[in-house]
A and B are shown apart, each in its own frame.
Chain A
Amino acid sequence: MTTACPGSKAEADHPEAEAALVAFIQRLVHDSSTVRAIEAGEVDAILDPASGRALLLPEARAALRRGETSTNQVLATLPREEYQRLLAGLEPVTLAFGDVLYEPGELIRQIYFPNEGLLVSLLILVENHGALEIGLVGNEGVVGLPLAQGIGTSSVRAVAQGAGTALWMEAASFHQALETCPALQRALHRYTHALIAQITQTAACNRFHQVEARLARWLLMASDRLQSDLIRFTHEWLADLLGVRRVGITVAASALQQRKLIQYSRGNITILDREGLKASACECYQKIKDIFDRAESWPADTQP
């Protein structure tokens, strides 16, 4: 192929240039499913054999300029058209450790779609005790789920556990968007089921299981959601989340470290042996994970 791609000379920001690019791609492409993906707007870049360069399509370039990319898995499952409609109301936000998104009894003004790397704890406040964690949300879910059920106030405190980014949407915009986005409705129904399962399992876990098993469970859950084996937490903070004394966390973490399952120093916890840590965790980790995985696999079975 010696024909140079039109975009290799003109960084195509104009409709004529975009049309020329699309025509160029269609000349290269003979596979009907690829043509359908191009027509559906599911292609970001083309590779120009003449110049040996990868060239961003105008829409992708514009989206990158506007910061409209998300690694949130709820948003990722949406059809392109629906995702584009939602983008109009979504804004990027950066959160820092300890940022409070909601307090119990207060209005939920925004719904958050965390990106990879952001972890949010859902905490229940009990008088004369600390704030106990009852749910953990990462880029697999959303924070502010009651809005999807038409509920405008929070029953929990939602706190960012470390710095990270998310896309957020004002409650009013979200309600409007939800009515026109059936795939988003289905995705949020699935996530609601998974989060309720996590919360109920955590309630039983907090009552019946030993600190070491609960700590192992929590580290695995956090690691899954962060998609990283490095977790930055102090013993004091973990003790609060799990509703135990600090010394309890220290003893449990030491035991896990002695068995070379984790390594910790100055607030950094690294998972060294995931399978070993799974064996040390209570059954709750796998149960919560299985329910989430099953919920996520529903669309393959239920889409028309």
Chain B
Amino acid sequence: MRRKQIVQPSDPAAVAAMMVMRLYVAGGAPNSVQAIANLEAICQQHLKGHYQLEIVDVFEQPLRALADGVIVTPSLTKLSPLPAAQIVGNLSDTRKVLLALGLQGKTP
């Protein structure tokens, strides 16, 4: 599965404030593809480049996903800033995703 990533802010001062996330997907399966598209849209609108996103294909790295405690995909893990969070599903409910990421109510 073709995937560019990682996205990082160019301003070093912004690095400290950026959100670090990892999205576990199952190749090009429908919910996984939807989750990537939805997350990219959310990041573009709400994080404006202040994020680092790694996309892990569980068919390529199943043991890594298991080591990270992932049982089903798609599954998004917010690593920092704390508190950490995990969201399972295709991320189509934008409000739920924003809430889990701690972005609810923040101006895009």
Contact B88 A47 (CB under 8 A): no
Interface residue A60 (Cβ < 8 Å from any Cβ of B): yes
A77 cross-chain contacts in B, Cβ below 8 A: 37-38, 41, 92, 94
Chain A nearest CB, measured from B49 CB (Å): 10
Residues of A within 8 A of B33 (CB): 69-71, 76
Q: How far is the CA of A33 from the CA of B100 in the complex (A)?
A: 11
CB distance from A241 to the nearest CB of B (A): 24
Selected interface stretch from A124-132, A196-204, A262-270, A291-299: A291-299
B18 at the interface (CB under 8 A from A): no
B62 near A53 (CB under 8 angstroms)? yes
Q: Annotate B95-108 by CB proximity to A: 1 below 8 A, 0 otherwise.
A: 10010000010001
Bitwise interface map of B from 38 to 79 toward A, beta carbon under 8 Å scored 1, else 0: 101100111000000000001100110110001111100000
Q: Mark B13-31, 1 if CB is under 8 A from A, else 0.
A: 0000000000001111111
A40 with B89, Cβ < 8 A, contacts A45-B26, A63-B29 known = yes
Given A42-B89, A43-B31, the answer on whether A139 and B62 have CB atoms closer than 8 Å is: no
Which B residues touch A106, using CB under 8 A? none
Residues of A within 8 A of B10 (CB): 275
Nearest opposing residue in chain B for A34, CB measure: B88
Instruction: Determine if A150 is an interface residue (Cβ-Cβ < 8 Å).
Output: no
The bracket for how many chain B residues form the interface is 35 or more
The CA of A34 and the CA of B45, in the complex, are separated in Å by 26
Query: Provided the pairs A60-B30, A80-B90 are in contact, do residues A28 and B71 lie with their beta carbons within 8 angstroms?
Result: yes
CA of A65 to CA of B40, assembled, Å: 25
Closest to B46 in A: A297
**CB <8 Å contact, B94 and A60:** no
A61 closest partner in B (C-beta): B29
B65: contacting residue among A28, A44, A54, A300, CB under 8 A: A54
CB <8 Å contact, A78 and B31: no
A172 sits at the interface (CB 8 A): no
A64 interface residue per 8 A CB criterion: yes
Question: In the complex the two chains form, is B62's CB within 8 Å of A293's CB?
Answer: no
> 1/0 per residue A281-304: CB within 8 Å of B?
000000000000110110110010
Cα-based distance from A47 to B71 in the complex (angstroms): 5
* A52 part of interface (Cβ distance < 8 Å): yes
The listed residue (A41, A44, A69, A139) touching B73 by CB distance below 8 A is A44
Contact: B26 with A56, CB < 8 Å? yes
Instruction: Check if A98 is an interface residue, CB within 8 A of chain B.
Output: no
A297→B72 CA distance, assembly (Å): 28
The 8 closest A-B pairs by CB, nearest first: A76-B37, A45-B26, A44-B29, A42-B89, A37-B89, A54-B58, A60-B29, A44-B26
A-B CB contact pairs (8 Å), 18 listed: A29-B71, A31-B88, A34-B72, A37-B72, A44-B29, A44-B74, A46-B71, A47-B65, A49-B66, A54-B26, A68-B30, A70-B33, A71-B33, A76-B92, A77-B37, A227-B40, A297-B46, A303-B95
Using A69-B30, A139-B37 as known contacts, list a sample of 12 further A-B pairs with CB atoms less than 8 Å apart, ordered by residue number in A: A34-B88, A37-B72, A37-B89, A43-B31, A45-B59, A54-B65, A64-B28, A73-B38, A83-B92, A296-B45, A297-B94, A300-B95
